Amino acid sequence: MSDFNKEQVFWCGSVLNHAGLERYKGETPAATQWSRGLITGIQNNEVNVKLFAPVWDALFPKGKLFPGDAKYLDESYNQTLVKYINAPVLRTSSVALSLKFQIKKALGSGNKPLAILNYNTYPHYVKALKSIKKEYPDIPWINIVLDLDDPLTDNWGGFLNDTKESDGCVFLSWWGYQNAPVSNKLHLDSGWSGSLPVNVLSKRKKIIYAGKLFDYGGVQDVVDAISLVADRDVEFIFYGKGSHEGLNKLAAVDSRVVVKGFVSDDELHKACCEATGFLSPRDVNYHGTKMIFPSKILFYLQYRKPIISQLLPGLSPDYKKLLIQPDTDEPVSWARSIEKILNFAVDDLTEYEKNVSAFLLKKTWDAQGNNLINFIKSLY
């Protein structure tokens, strides 16, 4: 073990800058924020992170045949661009071969890491890392599982096949962590910078949604609920990628509804500092809900404002007292919850801020990075 560099891990996955997130629709801002946070947390624990970064484009001819450009990678991180052939049938094998080549090149130069981590059990990562594991069995391979289609449809069979040569799994989903039939596992949902934002009292109440503007995200439920809210002294502001027909129709007839779309981190941060509360809808019956941790929840929490959300299976029980939970998924229940936070008493808000602040102490990215490093070391 003496030839191992204990101050480095390899990370399979890209972190894009704002221009890259605008250019590549398959790369999500929420997942990118999560990656930035954990990678920074690892590095703040004096373990460097080297990224091997394929950039996920739409299949050719909708996307480029040879996608990826280093100008779209976030320069804050040590990233090696992984080029591939983006053609039907060839894409998975092409990414896997290119990724394997780049990892072996790094290993060949003497950079043996503490572990190799992959962002989700995507087929190209699994194929590449199974091959790497055969050649380098003493380097731990750890899957970080952000989301997964319902694993019960095949009784976890596909997941177990994908991960059987790996040494451990990290789950963002509490349900996934509790139920995955693997022995070496860690629950690590999300984190925050450790520096509380300075909130600003806005003249007008503002309720914010930040996330994908698609049906499966529960946007239509919120749209229907807003129509039932009588309060006119409020703005409902929507941020995120995509377009939602129902939301656009409502915005056209209800001046309280503003659709900002995809904006910079700075603009979103400023808006959240002025927010009265946040919306985090999710279709509980969506096939992947069990394995999803809605990372926007912890993003919202750092602003210490009330959050309307169901206690989804991916959330640990610790979140229960921090959420304003609608009685049902029906729009009328969401409308009642919206009206509740619009009328929060000062004492209620003070108590809420106190509970959130205590919770956040355990969830800094530095603490999460340390939890992951300790988990890796426990595998030796």
Cα Rg, the chain, nearest whole Å: 21
Distance separating the N- and C-terminal Cα atoms of the chain: 9
Residue 15: which residues within 8 A CB-CB, separation 6 or more?
32, 35, 36, 39, 51, 53, 73, 74, 76, 77, 79
- Residue of 276, 269, 268, 270 lying closest to 349 (CA atoms): 276
- The proportion of the chain whose per-residue pLDDT surpasses 90, expressed as a percent, equals 81
AA letter at 375: F
- If you search the block for the tokens 């073990």, which residue do you land on? 1
For the chain, the average pLDDT equals: 93
Residue 334's pLDDT is 96
- As a whole number, mean pLDDT of residues 359-376 equals 95
Residue 357: which residues within 8 A CB-CB, separation 6 or more?
196, 304
Instruction: Give the chain's domains with CATH numbers.
Output: 8-191+364-378 (3.40.50.2000), 205-360 (3.40.50.2000)
Asked if 226 and 199 touch (Cβ cutoff 8 Å), the reply is no
Q: Is the dihedral of CA 30, 36, 38, 39 positive or negative?
A: positive
- As a whole number, mean pLDDT of residues 118-133 equals 97
User: What pLDDT digit, counting tens, does each position of 137-195 carry?
Assistant: 999 999 999 988 899 999 999 999 999 999 999 999 999 999 999 999 999 999 999 88
The reported pTM is 0.88
Rounded distance, CA 322 to CA 309, Å? 10
Q: Which pLDDT band holds residue 73 (cuts at 50, 70, 90)?
A: very high
**Residue 213 pLDDT more than 90?**
no
Q: Which pLDDT band holds residue 1 (cuts at 50, 70, 90)?
A: very low
